[in-house]
A = this chain, B = another copy of it.
Amino acid sequence: MKITVIGCGRWGTFIAWYLDKIGHSVSLYGRKSSAHMQKLIETRTNGLVELPETLHLTNSLDAVKDSDVIVISVNSQGLRGLMRELQPFELKNKIFVLCMKGVEIETGMRLSQVCAAECDNSNAVAVWVGPGHVQEFAAGVPNCMVIDSDSEDAKKTLVESFGSDLIRFYYGQDLIGNEIGAAAKNVVGIAAGMLDGLGLSTLKGALMARGTREIARLIDALGGNELSAYGLCHLGDYEATLFSPYSHNRMFGEKFVKNELYTDLAEGYYAVDALLRLGKTVSADLPICRAVYNVLYKGENAHDEVNALFTRSIKNEF
């Protein structure tokens, strides 16, 4: 298949490398102004994967015109802007695949909703979520991921043509749950980092059980399947997020409570705001998200927030 990958960050670059490697005809797009892209064009590597000559690198979005599939891996709050840049191409009958996590803050829309709202409705929109570190994939370590879409045809096409010995795809069956679960794991990652920073790492077990429960309730309230919180999109990504020293969100949470310098805000910083707004619309109680929000946005003391979670009235587990 002909594929354009938009976004030359770590994940986008890996996806382009991977799809080329399993036999697709791939263009990787990055803006002219992107330092990442400049470096890729000059060196054909980002230090994690080496890009073969078969992989076309481009600064022009024109590549999308001939593509069957357009994979997008950009900052979640930038998705709508990108989709509007694509509108002059009047794309039809394409499959968009979103390899990104988040919820649009202003509207509370899931990313697949943002994507669909900004393109012709002959196009299908899918998401590709789940665990996996680029470093590990590049070293040949396999993992399981999920592809989901409201279009059964698109889902089948993607699972069949994107699967390999390296990535085993499951068919997702709950787009709401898979998107919300993926976005929310970054918030739980920040919470885990806060526990690490407070010297309470052992509470990450309870965080896993209660965090998944909270997100399951939210997904259910939004009309999805609560089990998705326990799937690859959310729980399956906890290893890479709650327990990895390299996880950006976890590290951000740790540095935040230790009052250490951090270079940029993690995705979960935006996601927690969006999730609380969404939760309010369906009256979902999100005590862990609320605690993370209180620490990040309202300057509350993290220790006090943990204690407050602990002294909530005793109750049934489910």
Partner of A318, one of B202, B225, B317: B225
Which A residues fall within an 8 A CB radius of B?
130-133, 136, 141-144, 146, 159, 163, 165, 168-174, 199-210, 212-213, 216, 225, 227-228, 230-232, 235-240, 243, 310, 314-318
Partner of A238, one of B144, B169, B171, B208: B208
Q: A143-B203, A206-B232, A213-B230 are in contact. List 4 more A-B contacts (CB 8 A).
A: A141-B202, A173-B316, A208-B238, A209-B235
Inside 8 A of A205's CB, which chain B residues have their CB? 131-132, 143, 232, 236-240
- Does A170 contact B235, Cβ atoms closer than 8 Å? no
> In whole angstroms, how far apart are the Cα atoms of A173 and B265 in the complex?
40
Copies in the complex: 2
Residue of B nearest to A208 (CB): B235
- Does B232 contact A317, Cβ atoms closer than 8 Å? yes
User: What would 13 A/B residue contacts be, using CB atoms closer than 8 Å?
Assistant: A131-B209, A133-B202, A143-B206, A144-B206, A144-B209, A159-B314, A170-B315, A171-B316, A202-B239, A205-B237, A206-B236, A225-B318, A231-B317
Given A172-B317, A231-B318, A318-B231; A203-B141 close (CB under 8 Å): yes
Which are the 8 A-B pairs with shortest beta-carbon distances? A205-B239, A209-B236, A131-B205, A170-B317, A136-B202, A144-B206, A204-B239, A209-B232
Q: Nearest chain B CB to A194's CB is how many angstroms away?
A: 14
> In whole angstroms, how far apart are the Cα atoms of A314 and B206 in the complex?
32
Inside 8 A of A199's CB, which chain B residues have their CB? 141
Inside 8 A of A159's CB, which chain B residues have their CB? 314
- Does A203 contact B142, Cβ atoms closer than 8 Å? yes
Residue of B nearest to A174 (CB): B318
Residue of B nearest to A132 (CB): B202
- Does A212 contact B240, Cβ atoms closer than 8 Å? no
Q: Nearest chain B CB to A168's CB is how many angstroms away?
A: 5
> In whole angstroms, how far apart are the Cα atoms of A142 and B207 in the complex?
12
Inside 8 A of A146's CB, which chain B residues have their CB? 317
- Does B232 contact A318, Cβ atoms closer than 8 Å? no
Inside 8 A of A318's CB, which chain B residues have their CB? 173-174, 225, 227-228, 231
Given A202-B239, A314-B170; A230-B232 close (CB under 8 Å): no
Q: Nearest chain B CB to A142's CB is how many angstroms away?
A: 6
Q: Nearest chain B CB to A144's CB is how many angstroms away?
A: 4
Q: Nearest chain B CB to A94's CB is how many angstroms away?
A: 24
